Amino acid sequence: MITLNAVRFADADALVFEGRRWTYAELDADVSALAAGLAEQGVARDSRIAIVANNVPEFLILSLALTRLGAVFVPLNYRLTAGELAHLIGHAQVEAVATVPEFAELTADALTGLPAVRRIALEPIDETWQDVAAIAEPHRGVRVADVELDDHALQRIIYTSGTTSLPKGVMITHGNVNANMHAQIVELGLTTADRILNVAPLYHVGGLDLPGYAIWHVGGCMVLQRRFEPDDILRGIDSESITGMVAAAAMLDMIRRNAEEVGADLTSMRWLIFSQVTTALFKVARGLFPNARLIEGYGLTETCSGLTYLDEAHMESKQGSVGIPVPWVDVRVVDENDEDVPVGENGEVIARGPKVSPGYLDDGDATASAFRNGWFHTGDVGCFDADGYLYIRDRLKDMIRSGGENMSSAEIENVLADHPLVLSASVVAAPHPKWQEVPVAFVIGKPGLTADDLVEHARARLGKFKVPKEIYLVEEFPTNPSGKVLKRSLREQRPEMVPDWAYSE
């Protein structure tokens, strides 16, 4: 892909980062030199190299060089502890780990008991780390032959965020990546004129696949930012004429708070992908990006990012839906016997298609449980409407069981989110001596919102047993890299917090 575009679009921008620019010819030359240098060190097909880094160009260049050699890269979350990283590095059986100065100490601690694992610096660190530039420079102008691969060949191992369990190593194949790129190109209408702003973590499918690599398939440009900073986002959209980006709900709110002061021109944006956006935040996005298609999407690591997208024609009339399946993907909603449920009824969302991972690394039990009868079982509760639009209602594991009643945390969240001063709400189960579990709510609101307002609002719209028994007004939620709220963290934090309102029997 990069090699061909080095001919087709030799002088066009491929990558931009902190004032540095790579044309397609320059990007291909960097990838070729690094691939040749790594090959000399013995990196070959199926070699595994981990990466612990935030968004830097060398992350992407290394991933492309490894892919050219048929090697496998393992992007790891730099928010983990050294012990957690050590476990994943050992589980993935990597032969080297690449990092940046910011995470050098963390990564070194993780490698304490793994002396055989080589150390690579994506940016200069010290003499204990081999600089990636030193690997590449002696091989300028050298091109190693591309390793012949089929769709089943492993491209990367990407660990789940572990929102409900320990992280699992999702195997992403070249077939998965190719199918995803094609789906993104069709769904977003990507062309050479597109310039995406990529701030989602590269250790996550949101950074690499949404649309990620797909922008290079069509000869467009990726503008990479090291980390999320609202002012930098706003200025980047303006100065680079950005046409599309991904933003979690929490990010949208922070962008909104800074937009007036920065005063950036955001009219170049023609699409924005987000999820878990309330009616209030949808209106915020509409005001910020007047020319953009606002895309509520749904996807998982196991599906190489987006499974469904909400189309432009229905982005307002079907607001709240995550849309319809992207090309070459089948999605169903089923009961416990894997039989389709009627329209409007809730069931588990399952999917199949060339974007779907073959399973989890060295975890036969988890693979057999989630990938069965030819379908990936997402663990998410959803339903289809009469027009075939999907709505995600909850995680199966986030259903609240109270006094013999099952209730959806998402239903309660949606009611709270309808309050005009609410920006986002998250509801979790709390243990209760009498009812087993009760719902408690964490809410991010606009100035003036009170817990009493929320209680009154909820009581008018929900059965008594569904009204949250505790309400916490907070500034932000703990989230994983894709912006999903970490409900496990909320449950863990709750005993240490004082509610703004609590029900007493």
Residues 456 and 424 in one domain: yes
Q: Which residues, other chains included, contact 181 with Cβ-Cβ below 8 Å and sequence gap of 6+?
A: 209, 211, 213, 214, 217
Residues 376 and 420 in one domain: no
Give a yes or no: residue 174 inside a domain: no
- Answer whether the bond into residue 211 is a cis peptide, omega within 30°: yes
Find where tokens 């002061």 sit: 261
Q: What pLDDT score was predicted for residue 293? A: 96
Strand arrangement of the beta sheet that strand 422-432 belongs to: 422-432, 436-445, 470-473, 501-502
Q: What pLDDT score was predicted for residue 482? A: 60
Give a yes or no: residue 15 inside a domain: no
**Which runs of consecutive H residues, i.e. helices, occur in 346-471?**
364-370, 409-417, 451-459
Q: What pLDDT score was predicted for residue 112? A: 96
Residues 389 and 411 in one domain: no
Give a yes or no: residue 249 inside a domain: yes
Q: Which residues, other chains included, contact 372 with Cβ-Cβ below 8 Å and sequence gap of 6+?
A: none
* Packing angle of the helix pair 451-459, 409-417 (nearest 10 deg): 110
Which of 148, 163, 192 is the last residue before a domain boundary? 148
Q: What pLDDT score was predicted for residue 208? A: 97
Residues 192 and 326 in one domain: yes
Give a yes or no: residue 269 inside a domain: yes
Domain span holding position 408: 399-502
Contact between 67 and 59 (Cβ < 8 Å): no
Strand arrangement of the beta sheet that strand 20-23 belongs to: 20-23, 13-17, 221-224, 195-198, 244-246, 271-274, 293-300, 305-309, 324-325
Which of 331, 362, 395 is the last residue before a domain boundary? 395
User: Which tokens in the block code for residue 349?
Assistant: 């969302």
- What radius of gyration, in Å, describes the C-alpha atoms of the chain? 23
Give a yes or no: residue 89 inside a domain: yes
| Grouped pLDDT means (10 residues each) for the chain, 505 residues | 96 97 98 98 97 98 98 93 91 98 97 96 97 97 94 96 69 98 98 97 94 98 95 97 90 87 95 85 91 94 96 94 96 96 95 98 96 95 96 76 69 89 92 84 95 93 85 90 78 92 79
Residues 229 and 88 in one domain: no
Contact between 274 and 297 (Cβ < 8 Å): yes
Residues 250 and 314 in one domain: yes
Residues 376 and 403 in one domain: no
Using H for helix, E for strand and C for coil, what is the string for 47-116?
Answer: CEEEEECCCCHHHHHHHHHHHHHCCEEEECCCCCCHHHHHHHHHHHCCCEEEECHHHHHHHHHHCCCCCC
User: Which tokens in the block code for residue 5?
Assistant: 């575009």
CATH of the domain at 211: 3.40.50.12780
What is the distance in angstroms between the CA of the first residue and the CA of the last residue of the chain? 64
Residues 388 and 408 in one domain: no
**Structural domain count of the chain:** 3
CA 125 – CA 102 distance, rounded (Å): 9
Give a yes or no: residue 173 inside a domain: no
Q: What pLDDT score was predicted for residue 163? A: 45
Residues 350 and 225 in one domain: yes
Contact between 171 and 200 (Cβ < 8 Å): no
Residues 207 and 331 in one domain: yes
